[in-house]
Structure 1
């Protein structure tokens, strides 16, 4: 499952503001802010909606060979 720092990094990669992602994922801005700061225990469906919105904007969620979660931009060929 994705974590707050990945969401924040994904947004930064594509230049998306929290408010824009909240709208795209159909979650409240407060919910998204709390998830990114790690102060809430979100539902899996909420995290999935956020992940889907970021992926549709070109973000890929990755695990760096067992070194922890990360993000990168999708290749234009993918």
Structure 2
């Protein structure tokens, strides 16, 4: 099999769905209204069932206002039920 070109090695662009936009809006509202970031992240996970990890992390960063590292930590802890 031929080696992949540099372009083929690049990751695919992520598609931002309507559900993702809704989850960003909802999680921003929750945080503004005083909910914890953990609660907002749990809500995001419930809204985005069937979405990729990359898409969920994007919503954690944009909606819950987490850093990339924080988003990865929250994702791991919530998916493995540590929170």
Pair in the same fold by TM > 0.5: no
**Which structure is higher in helix share?**
2
| Larger relative contact order, structure 1 or 2 (CA cutoff 8 Å, min sep 6) | 1
TM-score, normalised by the number of residues in structure 1: 0.30
**Which structure is higher in strand share?**
1
Question: For the pair shown, which has the larger CA radius of gyration, 1 or 2?
Answer: 2
TM-score, normalised by the number of residues in structure 2: 0.29
